[in-house]
Amino acid sequence: MNRKHGLAEVLEPFDDSRLTSISQPSFRLLIENTADGVLVVDLSGAVLYANPAACGILGHSRDKLLHVPLGRPMTGGETAEITVHRPDSRPAEVEMRVVEVTWDGEPALLASLRDISARRAQDERQRQSQKLEAIGRLTAGIVHDFNNLVAVFESGLRLLERQLAQDPGDPKVGKFIEELLERTQNGRALTQRLLAFSRRQTLSPQATDLNERIRSLSSLLERALGSGVQIRLELHSDVGEVLIDPDQLDTAILNLAVNARDAMAGRGVLTIETRLDALGDLETGEGLNESFARATVADTGCGMGKEVLAQVFEPFFTTKGEGEGTGLGLSQVYGFVTQSGGQIRIDSNVGSGTAVHLYLPRIHPDQAGPT
């Protein structure tokens, strides 16, 4: 029975950047039936060898590929994902790796090709499924909260109707009206939180002393968190001013502090730290030249696993019990920070606590206006 050789077996003898000598006969025996595509090109980019899998991935016969100048794929030792456009079929998403070899005594490059189109399609389906799940959770949360508001209004209006029929001058009439007006604030707060998440809320950014603003929250935090939570401020003097809406910053810090208290079951240490930090791109991992003021809210609580971390910014997602949380706190913080031109990152592990880092746009000293 013919055995399909895996690419790892084929490349193991020269799985690094060194030039390795192989002969054509032994090479073909190893890779002619491998499931991965294999190309050998000379230093000018002309194809010297293509196995059947490579021909299938590229959409050309071997005769057409041989001695056709494809160009140098990459530097030896590199790996990349590319899109291959084929004449008679759909484009293929291909993972390509290049190593240096010698072919008939001459320097050459060996490119391994793996068709990852199916994996990419599966990943995309999973992303779409996750998006639909998030939209479903968002819709369910909105419906739930607004149904509660409608139920309050309906019962309040019925009571008001009966009271007006019995005695229009009764002081209870005014109390019912006041109660209903207060409930309208709940609906307004809900819409504001959703606008914050979607980064469509109205902000009033101004130059704000980050350290001083956090200090001013100390007494409020002490009352909100209770005596079981020790608050530590580690504020570095060089962070200076940030360009943000200070009221929204207060709300964000308070939201994070309350979440931390709940994660610590009311007993632990809450640390709020500020410092200057160079922010890297959170998607590519590449560093940016711009520096930000970082405000970190860290706790000694239960922490979160990867599954929870992947959803924490979604509206109405909460790990708390029914009636203990709306699931809008972190989504509101996320919306405020990103709309302000910053970014947010969370470091957390189960049993090791959580640190939420807010990267806020800093006003450099040479940009500050006259005082």
Q: Which pLDDT belongs to residue 282? A: 46
Per-residue pLDDT of 286-301, as tens digits, reads: 445 457 999 999 999 9
Q: Which residues, in sequence order, are bridge partners of residue 258?
A: none
What's this model's pTM, rounded to 2 decimal places? Answer: 0.51
Q: Which pLDDT belongs to residue 223? A: 84
Q: Which residues, in sequence order, are bridge partners of residue 38?
A: 112
Contact 137, 117 (CB under 8 A): no
Angle between helices 171-197 and 329-339 (to 10 degrees): 60
Q: Which pLDDT belongs to residue 135? A: 64
Contact 338, 282 (CB under 8 A): no
Q: Which pLDDT belongs to residue 274? A: 95
Amino acid at site 26 = S
Segments of 172-323 assigned E as strands? 206-209, 229-235, 241-244, 268-280, 287-298
Q: Which pLDDT belongs to residue 280? A: 54
Burial class (CB within 10 angstroms; exposed 0-12, middle 13-18, buried 19+) of 120: middle
Burial 33-59 (b: 16+ CB within 10 A, else e): ebebbbbbbbeeebbbbbbbbbbbbbb
78 by DSSP, 3-state: which?
coil
The token duo for 20 is 């390795």
Low-confidence ranges of the chain (pLDDT < 70): 1-28, 67-78, 129-148, 152, 183, 185-201, 279-290, 315-328, 365-371
Complete domains list, the chain, with CATH:
7-115 (3.30.450.20), 120-197 (no CATH), 206-367 (3.30.565.10)
Tell me how many degrees the CA angle 220-269-250 measures, rounded to the nearest 5.
30
362 by DSSP, 3-state: which?
strand
CA distance 335 to 141: 18
Amino acid at site 330 = L
